[in-house]
Structure 1
């Protein structure tokens, strides 16, 4: 006996409704802006740098924190202690040519209160990516590497924002 299209739609509708109820019941929600525990911050990185511009945009988009240019007036100071990119050979071909690279980006930071107390002790966060290299496509692979480094920077900013959201005096 074949099921009618109306019955099939009804079953699919109830299935979708049940899945939505299960997701809502387990506490699932999309990650959105997380409020920061301070009202003003001084960024110890230039706004003209890629990292500074991206971090500035993310904090402004968060909505509840202003960025000041004077560290003395800010509730907290973010100090970027290290921002380093690395590229190392991961594998070689039998002929000794590079087949894969591993890219890493490391960032060390700390968060200081107005009184000099550490809200977040010096912390290092990192991101890594691998990609295949081909001598015949050098320009394309250089662009791919640049995109991967940009992606890693966004990943590190996400990690940094989660740490800042968890910071308490």
Structure 2
């Protein structure tokens, strides 16, 4: 019996090694902080804003890029052209009351180097979420909406940083 168990463990270990080898051979990598191609960046958004603070944290987590407070000292400037949130009615009840809302969060940005050349042309990234609305739970629904916007902001920051990581030096 122990010989059979040992053989199964060996086969399982070999299968795991083969899978790992196949995944690494195809270029698969776990998501994590990706280094950026520039050593310093200026963020054209207030560090006091939720978006500015989230971007600063995420870029610092990349480990290779510092966030500069002076645009003249940075290798590149991230310019936030638009940062908008919208709430639209998605469906109504038969009585004309709101049943569902659709939340949209959009960020437009571009990346410019020291010489003024665009490294990323103006780009818009958008996240959308839907939620059911109930007049009897207004406070809970306001909290849910705030959480959804926060979640969308996190998604957009990740998308933006992935775009920054794709820029070649």
Tell whether 2:128 aligns with 1:125: no
Cα distance between partner residues in 2 of 1:148 and 1:7: 52
Residue of structure 1 equivalent to 2:150: 150
CA distance in structure 2 between the partners assigned to 1:158 and 1:77 by the alignment:
18
- 1:18 is aligned, of 12, 15, 19, to 15
TM-score (norm. length: structure 2): 0.88
SS in 2 for 1:89: strand
| Alpha-carbon separation, structure 1, partners of 2:70 and 2:29 | 37
Cα distance in structure 2, aligned partners of 1:97 and 1:20: 58
How far apart are residue 119 of structure 1 and its match? 0.4
1:103-143, Cα deviation, whole Å (9 max, x unpaired): 00000000000000000000000000001111111111110
Q: CA deviation at 1:162?
A: 0.5
How far residue 19 of structure 1 moved from its aligned partner, in angstroms, is 5.7
How far the C-alpha of 1:17 sits from its partner, in A, is 6.0
1:13-52 residue pairs with structure 2 within 5 A?
Answer: 14=11, 18=15, 21-22=18-19, 24-27=21-24, 28-52=28-52
**Equivalent residues in 2 for 1:23-102 (5 A)?**
24-27=21-24, 28-102=28-102
5+ residue gaps in structure 2? none
Structure 1 stretches lacking a partner, 5+ long: none
Q: Which moved more, 1:127-136 or 1:16-25?
A: 16-25
The total of aligned residue pairs comes to 166
Summarize the Cα distance change of 1:88–1:24 in structure 2 as closer, same or farther, 3 Å threshold: farther
**Aligned-CA RMSD value:** 2.3
For the residue of structure 2 that corresponds to 1:72, the secondary structure is: helix
Secondary structure at the residue paired with 1:87?
strand
Q: Partner of 2:72: helix, strand, or coil?
A: coil
Aligned to 1:137: 137
Q: Secondary structure at the match of 2:71?
A: coil
Partner Cα separation in structure 1 for residue 35 and residue 54 of structure 2: 18
